[in-house]
Amino acid sequence: MTAALTPSVDTAPRARPEPPVRPEFEGPLAPLEGIAPQQPLPLFARVWQQQAVRRLAILAVLAVLWELLARWQNNDLLLPTFVQTARALVEGLASGELLAKAAISLSVLLKGYLAGIAGAFVLTTLAVSTQFGRDLLSTLTAMFNPLPAIALLPLALLWFGLGQGSLVFVLVHSVLWPLSLATYAGFQGVPETLRMAGRNYGLTGIRYVLQILVPAALPSILSGLKIGWAFAWRTLIAAELVFGASSGKGGLGWYIFQNRNELYTDKVFAGLALVILIGLLVETLGFHTLERLTVRRWGVQR
């Protein structure tokens, strides 16, 4: 019997051919032929890029429209001119009356705003930590967020009396629920990789919230803070219009109400203008500065 002949197989590794080496090529750049590589923008374009300039231009246009409409109406009792309102505003600030009223309103607002922030932080921390906290937050926000804060003022007067406690109560209600919803939505949008990184470092509870969730959800938290501020500010003015003076001291809302009763329409508009100016200052110097130093600097928000 003869053995079958099998072809021999070469199992030795073969060397791969080296890729061809191409020679380097350097060519001279074409001259620009007298064209400047960088041309500065015109002065108007550079000035218009400033946000403050654009906002001032919008305010100036609104002021001109107001002045023209008031002169066409020709009734100072219904609509004073912009010049009359500006004069009343300057006189109120110079006498110190408007500044005192604004200080009273802002002090009450600060108490309610900070209390609302603390309550929202507690609720959202429970919501991201436990199932009961999530159910509690969803139930309470569904119940109380649609409820206007000013509607609770009669109950607040019965519970807390004629003092700042009633105003603080309605302010907490106006801040707590929108801020809680925005913060919790921001926490829900945190990427899972960041959550895993926090768990790998052994972070739990309040440390996990402060070091992982809060920095990642800061854009949503800032949006909730701005919404809560706007709700609280207009709720306070409306509450002072209805509630009046607190412990013998009235804020901007009471100033507007008093001058409306005495038919000083220019002072009424001056009080409203100061409410708007305070809102612009808080938005520009407060929230925009905070966003520029945090989320925009970190590249989280455009």
pLDDT digits (tens, 9 = 90+) for 108-167: 899 999 999 999 989 988 888 888 988 998 999 888 888 888 888 888 888 887 778 888
In angstroms, the CA 114 to CA 176 distance is 10
Amino acid at 31: P
Within the chain, where are the H helices? 43-48, 51-73, 82-95, 97-129, 131-144, 153-160, 164-188, 192-200, 205-208, 214-216, 218-243, 252-261, 265-281, 289-293, 295-298
More confident residue, 235 or 201: 235
Task: Check residue 114 and give its pLDDT.
Answer: 93
Angle between helices 97-129 and 218-243 (to 10 degrees): 130
What integer pLDDT is reported at residue 37 of this predicted model?
58
Of the chain, the percentage scoring pLDDT greater than 90 comes to: 12
Q: What angle do CA 202, 204, 208 make, to 5 degrees?
A: 100
What are 61-109's pLDDT values in tens digits? Answer: 998 998 899 889 888 888 888 888 889 889 888 888 889 888 988 998 9
Report the pLDDT value the prediction gives residue 1, as an integer from 0 to 100. Answer: 46
Q: At residue 300, does pLDDT exceed 70? A: no
Provide the mean pLDDT of the chain.
82
Position 3 pLDDT exceeds 60:
no
pTM of the model: 0.76
Which pLDDT band holds residue 249 (cuts at 50, 70, 90)? Answer: low
**Which one-letter amino acid corresponds to residue 289?**
T
Cα separation, 214 vs 227, whole angstroms:
18
pLDDT of residue 164: 80
| Neighbouring residues of 300: CB distance < 8 A, sequence distance ≥ 6 | 218, 219, 294
CA separation for the pair 93, 277 (Å, rounded) = 13
Per-residue pLDDT, 248: 54
